[in-house]
Amino acid sequence: MFAALAAGAALLVTVVWLLVSDRPNLAATNPTGSGVVWEHGTGTQTPKQPESVSFTGYPSLDLKEGETTAHLPISNKQENGFAIKYQLVDETGDILWESGLIAPGVTVGEQKLSRALPVGETHATWHMTSWTLDEQPVQLNGVDTACTITVTAA
């Protein structure tokens, strides 16, 4: 079931930021991946801004009645270079599950929902945001994708 969810449910959503001319030194490289670009010779730093960040959305989730643990391979691709935070929110705005900041190259395989859902379909939204890898992370951008949670009788 895990392999089927991983293969069938992953939806790649690519968010592309258009660089604007008033942002300083966005083309500079950052070999440490720290989320900060040092401007050589100036002693100043500017936030590192990605040209694009890949988020993986999950359009469906299947649970059994009374079950509160989901098993999706929630991951942050290594090439992103930024942390990603996931939130699964139902149609009333209640947070069903929320990750911490997931580092690049890390997968979270189990999600403990805040409550059991009723039998049937629940419409939810994945809120996915990218964050710098600094000691004090800064939110950069994000995307929302729809998710249908189907709960079957036990």
The total number of structural domains that make up the chain: 1
Structure confidence at residue 56 (pLDDT): 86
Structural domain range at position 118? 2-152
**Rounded average pLDDT over 31-55:** 48
The residue that leads in pLDDT, 150 or 2, is 150
Q: pLDDT (tens digit, 9 = 90+) per residue, 134-147?
A: 999 999 999 999 99
Structure confidence at residue 18 (pLDDT): 24
* Contact criterion met (CB below 8 Å) for 147 and 57: yes
Domain of 119, CATH number, reads: 2.60.40.2550
Average pLDDT, the chain: 74
Does 17 have pLDDT greater than 60? no
Q: pLDDT (tens digit, 9 = 90+) per residue, 117-127?
A: 999 999 999 99
pTM of the model: 0.67
